[in-house]
Chain A
Amino acid sequence: MRVVLAEDSVLLREGLIRLLDASGMQVVAAVDEAEGLLRAAEEHRPELVITDVRMPPTHTDEGLRAALVLRRQQPGLAVLVLSQYVEERYAAQLLASAATGGVGYLLKDRVADVTEFIDALRRVAAGGTALDPEVVAQLLLRGNSDPLERLTPREHEVLKLMAEGRSNAGIGQALVLSEGAVGKHIGNIFTKLDLSPAEGDHRRVLAVLQFLKIRSLP
């Protein structure tokens, strides 16, 4: 898999390149600022872009803005945004862009759990989602108007894990439930949220996120 990486910390950039190499991914370009990311993505046409949020020159949110531009310019491109902090507002902006490619938004901390991080990368590259549990918690907090209040605590947990991008089997494992039980919970969630069940794992997740996003945007 061809990856373009944008990260201004040399240490972390080199580390990520090593990690991706070890996992059989090919980093075709590694840059340290947002302009460079846009050029590299244009030039190399990668399958996946991994970008930091805070980068030169202003050290605010240029990485995120570049990710939004890329998602608009290359609709099929998978984008994973890494950050020292996750913010619901940024997540909402990422998810709001109507692109078909996978999208991910994770704390940099998650890089430490190598296997799970690589899983998340693959999921995003395959068109799925990977949202940090922290940002999901924030999104759910904002979504605490009527429909979500109808959910039981267990359904809330299932929804959180779905939003993180886990499969039914993964959710079952995390909550010690059978896959059948998970399916039932998900069915209930969709009914309560007035969402018709769509085919495919990440499609459902996106549908849920779409719902959360509407709740979270001002």
Chain B
Amino acid sequence: MKVPRPWSARAWLDTSHVMIGLPVAVLLGGLTVLLVAWPPLLMRSVPRFTGVQRSRFEAFLDARIPPVRSPSSWRSPATWRQIGYHLLSPFVGVAGALLVALAWGGAVVGLLAFLPKKFQPPPLEFVFDLRNGKVIAVYMVIGFVLLLLAPVLARGMAALDLSVARTLLGPSRSELGQRIETLTESRAGVIDAADAERRRIERDLHDGAQQRLVSLAMNLGLARATLTDLPEPAREAIAQAHEEAKQALKELRDFVRGLHPAVLNDQGLDAALSGVAARAPFPVKLHVDIERRVTPTIEAVAFFIVSEALTNIAKHAAATKAEVSVRRERERLHVLVYDDGCGGARMDGGTGLRGLAQRVDSVDGRLRLSSPLGGPTTIEVDLPCE
């Protein structure tokens, strides 16, 4: 541990924390004892007491003690732990304040030993002979040592107080474990919901807008082919509308395809990726080796990675070719996308790669990017299969 310098802000904050801790802890501890006579009020007061203590830790030590989420009740172990803290903290407070005050006080007294006799604190002159130069020197050395020791002591007492508070006021290990479990579950739920939502949008567009556009394009095509006796401007207008309808159809198809291709559900990654690879504006070598299909969520993530990576390559890399390899090794799915483009891709650069990394993170996957200036670029992703 780094020895804090005396007189630094840190030392003062620690000292203040410990000194103010004494009256606060004694007051709250006393109230807790008194309120035992009236349990309902105690029940209501405990969280407030805890709030006071928590803000003391935040104000002086800049330490945030995570709040406990369980409601306060007699059955909750958290309530009992908090009561325990308020009963224990007066003792910690008294001990801490006493030691720190003695250290600072001793330092001041020792360092003042050279002062003339009448300025000396009364008890000392009876005990020691302060006219003796050697005694004065010893006093001053002790004072100096205490001066150096006091901040360390303050730091130590504050740390002790903090660790007691963290143990008794913060969430317990089992509560933390439980919260991680809940978070993991809810995150999986959110991911699945987002996935389901993408699928729903894809289906809606497929059944609605896309069919309507096909029909529109077909009618325009029919008009273009059959209404040959119309005046030139009218034919021109129809032809233009026809081309635009076809373009809109293509754009919508490319968009929907990126959302969640139906073939991914029906036939798996291999089939879906070949479509993506074929549409890339450069040759893509595709190698998929998956014996048992992975979960739909992981399939969607892997599909998104490859599709997004190829889009990025097309936009930025000026590559002449790319290679995609997807293989399953037991419970891990490895995805590798390589291109011979100009390199220099960075995680914090475009939004494309960041979105990709977030998607990988969301399922506890790992992503490695190697992209030196001048290329080549390799994106390696490792996903859990279940």
Q: What residues make up the interface of A, taking CB atoms closer than 8 Å to B? A: 9, 11-12, 15-16, 18-19, 22, 54, 59-61, 84-90, 107-109, 111-115, 117, 134, 137-138, 141-142, 144, 216, 218
Contact = CB atoms under 8 A, between A and B. Distances in A.
B110 to A, nearest CB: 86
Given A19-B222, A22-B222, A90-B263, A141 B278 contact: yes
B226 interface: yes
A54 B222 CA distance: 25
Interface stretch (B134-142, B242-250, B298-306, B307-315): B242-250
Contact of B265 (A60, A108, A117): A60
Given A109-B249, A112-B249, A87 B275 contact: yes
Interface string B238-261: 000010011001100100110001
A87 B211 contact: no
A112 B207 contact: no
A161 to B, nearest CB: 16
Nearest to A82: B214
19 contacts: A9-B207, A11-B212, A15-B218, A15-B219, A16-B218, A19-B218, A60-B262, A84-B256, A85-B257, A85-B275, A89-B274, A108-B214, A109-B217, A112-B220, A114-B222, A141-B274, A144-B283, A144-B285, A216-B274
Contacts of A59: 203
Contact of B253 (A12, A84, A87): A84
A114 B251 CA distance: 20
A103 to B, nearest CB: 19
The CB with the most chain B CB atoms within 10 A, among A90, A112, A141, is that of: A112
B81 interface: no
Nearest to B210: A84
B270 interface: yes
A142 B274 contact: yes
Given A11-B215, A15-B215, A85 B263 contact: yes
Interface of B: 203, 206-207, 210-212, 214-215, 217-222, 224-226, 242, 245-246, 249-250, 253, 256-257, 261-263, 265-267, 270-272, 274-275, 277-279, 283-286
Given A15-B219, A87-B274, A109-B217, 8 more contacts: A85-B257, A87-B263, A87-B271, A89-B270, A109-B246, A111-B214, A112-B242, A112-B245
Given A59-B203, A144-B283, A144-B285, A109 B214 contact: yes
A88 B218 contact: no
B327 to A, nearest CB: 14
B254 to A, nearest CB: 10
Chain A binding site: helix, strand, loop or mixed by DSSP? helix
Chain B binding site: helix, strand, loop or mixed by DSSP? helix
B227 to A, nearest CB: 12
Contacts of B219: 15
Contact of A88 (B212, B215, B278): B278
A182 B222 CA distance: 32
Contact of B246 (A112, A117, A218): A112
Contacts of B253: 84-85, 107, 109
Contacts of A115: 225
Nearest to B278: A138
A86 B262 CA distance: 11
Contacts of A108: 210, 214
Nearest to B276: A138
Contact of A114 (B214, B221, B272): B221
A112 to B, nearest CB: 3
Contacts of A112: 214, 217-218, 220-221, 242, 245-246, 249
Contacts of A90: 263, 267
Given A54-B262, A112-B249, A142 B286 contact: yes
Contacts of B278: 88, 134, 137-138, 141
Contacts of B246: 109, 112-113
Nearest to B284: A141
Contacts of B256: 84
Nearest to A111: B218
Given A19-B222, A54-B206, A113-B221, A12 B215 contact: yes
A218 B270 contact: yes
Q: For the complex of A and B, list the 3 residue pairs with the smallest distance between their C-beta atoms, beginning with the closest.
A: A112-B217, A89-B271, A138-B278
A107 B218 CA distance: 13
A22 B226 contact: yes
A86 B214 CA distance: 15
Nearest to A52: B211
Nearest to B270: A218
A216 B242 CA distance: 35
Contacts of A137: 278-279
Contacts of A87: 263, 267, 271-272, 274-275
A12 B211 contact: yes
A155 to B, nearest CB: 15
The CB with the most chain A CB atoms within 10 A, among B214, B271, B284, B285, is that of: B214
Contacts of A117: 221
Nearest to A92: B271
Nearest to A142: B274
Nearest to A107: B253
